[in-house]
Amino acid sequence: MKSAPDWISQPDTPYLLIDEAQLKSNISYLKQRVESLGSHLRPHLKTLRTLEAAEYLLDNKNAPGTVSTLAEAEAYAKAGYTDLLYAVGIAPAKLRRVAALRQQGINLHVLLDNMTQAEAVIDFAAEFGQDFSVFIEIDSDDHRGGIKPQAPQLITIAKALGSHFTGLMTHAGGSYICNTEQGLKNFAKQECDAVRMARDKLKTAGIRCAITSVGSTPTAHFGEDFSDISEVRAGVYTTFDLVMKNIGVCDFSDIAMSVVTTVIGHNKEKNWLLTDSGWMALSRDRGTAGQRQDFGYGQVCRTDGSVLSDLCVNSTSQEHGVIELNDAYPLEDFPVGDQLRILPNHACATAAMHPVYHLLMSDGSHNTWQRITGW
């Protein structure tokens, strides 16, 4: 383990730290993997949500990307990115913002899974002479939204959309319950099979489906054949997190995000450390609570990144974290003023708590990125 550079102790804590070398390694690995299996990545930009991160994820300004808010789409469009999938079901009231971007030459795709949304698109297009690009969401695992691939409304909606219909999208969010290699492979196949079935139904009905889009970080890492799938989406793979570690997608050493925190006090009677990183810094996400190992509000590490086994942030209030020490870690090993790094349960949620990210660059130097905010 390399020692931490001196500058890491200088920014006020708590702050978000990203390891650029590991970030680049994570991005490169999945890109090569997906392409070797016959498809292409459409990276999800929502985890880091910065213009700087897009430069690592997208090969050029015309490369496909995914966003989860129109604020992201507007910011990336302003920066010159032209092919963006807004991968949240479209609210009819937001079509005006979508249209404004498309009128600027941005190929912004929207997502829907019901006739009410489709009619809103059709009516807006007719009233304002606007073209849209629409993906229909397919439910591949009973996880959340979407249309079952065999459901008759798939054909009904696609026909109604006419020239606005572009493709099919599914997200195997249910893969997050897995923790075995075979289970993840099965979810990846199920995800691909669902859009294949839907695409074949459309073809039989005489409807062309130009794009099939699948993806989640677990299935992107465990899928075995993407050769007839247009694109694979993933987001949290850029930095990974403890949920992904529990699933079996990564190890501690792959996690490129942490929150740097300072020890601000001791509770000697309870053998607790008090830190200045509460849920406002770590988020309230407790995604590991139902997994094979519960990491509380985050795994505790030294500032050089070395993991302190069996130490986590056990509880939080708004600005305080509590780390309950065990016999392996004497209280005096963590003096007031000592700094620690906390690995996040859910990288997207933790990143959302920080308007500025601090970057440990590959050469040891310091950089900062500004987060895109809003919806």
Q: CB neighbours of 173 closer than 8 A, spacing ≥ 6?
A: 141, 143, 144, 216
How many CB atoms within 10 Å of residue 160? Answer: 15
* 257 beta partners: 18
Query: Rounded to an integer, what distance in angstroms lies between the CA atom of residue 22 and that of residue 256?
Result: 6
For the chain, how many residues are written? 375
For the chain, residues with pLDDT lower than 50 are 1
Structural domains of the chain, ranges and CATH numbers in brackets:
6-16+249-370 (2.40.37.20), 42-233 (3.20.20.10)
Prediction pTM value: 0.96
pLDDT tens digits for range 208-225: 999 999 999 999 999 999
Q: What angle do CA 250, 63, 48 make, to 5 degrees?
A: 45
Burial class (CB in 10 A: 0-12, 13-18, 19+), 320: middle
* 370 beta partners: 356
pLDDT tens digits for range 304-344: 999 999 999 999 999 999 999 999 999 999 999 999 999 99
How many CB atoms within 10 Å of residue 25? Answer: 14
Q: Which residue blocks in the chain are alpha helix, DSSP H?
A: 20-36, 51-57, 70-78, 95-103, 115-128, 153-161, 181-204, 217-222, 242-247, 279-282, 347-351
pLDDT at 2: 67
